[in-house]
Chains A and B, each alone.
Chain A
């Protein structure tokens, strides 16, 4: 069997492109979008919401009709989604310890986190740990993270006790660092789970 060349593949798959006949955005659309983007940022520079707000520009994709969706395949990508130079303040669970029930860590569980990122500890000042975000897997977090230092020995479910100059993989929900092994020191094993969690 003779393999298809790239041009043939492009023709075959390309003709099924649902946006093939999409018209270009006109100047009016572009101007409106730019103004909205700039005004959004200026009015809410510290926004960390990961969920887009209610639909505001139904005109922009008009004419395409309702299209089905496909979640994009994804792995960790060091893109900066967070507000520039902003600080995201997180909390750690107060509970934990031997009574905590920790489920087996799975990519599916990690995938439901609000945010997931890799960050390095840059300072520990009293009870506050400061981390610098290196990669973002999901969600919007600032470049800098502040989180209370744990004081325990790290028994199941307890707050993480961060160590200086160490890199961690952290997942959060509702502003709380997920523990029970969901967040921890960066390792090939945990990295593999995070990668699978956000690989589409």
Chain B
């Protein structure tokens, strides 16, 4: 190969690498905070750090597969599976310790940010839901994903998400209102939870 041809090849490879790295940076900057939030809501700090690292490595490996129009949902889908892998490995190794509260049912250990009555009522209502329903509400509200994005994360159709989400909202509301009444709290108001 002549030098000129070799230089062009080297330059082409360099340009491709730069383009690839540039696209990766765009995706990371788009997805990093949603990913950190998703993991922080569902696991302990050390596991979140590790799973985030594994997720970004997977995104880099499979950069060409990351959909242009849904990088956040796709990356959360990867993180979700990576987290499950981590939890499964931890269980099987028998190294599940108290600080990692991932044993079933997870909804009973769901952390909440608030400490007032309303926050406790929310936590109780969420814990009373089926885990799949609670997770739908978390993905919708906490992770701020639309049904079509949740569909990407869970690998089901957007229509199925909409139907299940509607049901989950209703179940949550029933439990929340029932709990509020049982505890002598006021009826739900428009400004409640603000």
Contact = CB atoms under 8 A, between A and B. Distances in A.
A40 B55 CA distance: 11
B43 A69 contact: yes
Interface residues of A, number: 73
B44 A66 contact: yes
Nearest to B87: A71
B112 A16 contact: yes
Interface in A135-164: 135-136, 138-140
A70 B106 contact: yes
A176 to B, nearest CB: 15
Contact of B110 (A3, A51, A70, A135): A70
Given A57-B53, A71-B102, A64 B47 contact: no
Interface string B123-148: 10010000110111110011000000
A50 interface: yes
A34 interface: yes
Contacts of A45: 61
B177 A1 contact: yes
Given A25-B32, A140-B85, A67 B113 contact: no
B8 interface: no
A73 interface: yes
B62 interface: yes
A62 interface: yes
A70 B41 CA distance: 8
B167 interface: no
A18 B115 CA distance: 11
A25 B56 CA distance: 14
Candidate in B142, B177, B190, B192 with the most chain A CB atoms within 10 angstroms: B142
B12 interface: no
A74 B84 CA distance: 9
Given A75-B154, A136-B81, A52 B53 contact: yes
Contact of A52 (B33, B82, B176, B190): B82
B92 interface: yes
B72 interface: no
B113 to A, nearest CB: 5
A150 to B, nearest CB: 26
A66 B99 contact: yes
A198 B84 contact: yes
Candidate in A41, A57, A61, A72 with the most chain B CB atoms within 10 angstroms: A72
A13 B192 CA distance: 10
B119 A15 contact: yes
A138 B137 contact: no
A138 B80 CA distance: 10
Which 5 A-B pairs rank lowest in CB-CB distance, beginning with the nearest?
Answer: A77-B155, A52-B50, A70-B106, A51-B89, A12-B193
Given A29-B32, A45-B61, A81-B82, 18 more contacts: A8-B193, A13-B142, A15-B122, A16-B122, A19-B37, A33-B28, A34-B25, A36-B57, A40-B53, A41-B60, A51-B90, A55-B49, A55-B50, A61-B39, A69-B42, A69-B43, A71-B42, A81-B78
28 contacts: A8-B188, A8-B190, A11-B191, A12-B193, A13-B141, A15-B114, A16-B113, A17-B113, A17-B141, A18-B113, A19-B36, A19-B41, A30-B28, A34-B28, A37-B57, A50-B85, A50-B86, A51-B90, A52-B51, A61-B49, A68-B110, A71-B102, A74-B84, A77-B80, A111-B88, A112-B92, A138-B84, A200-B131
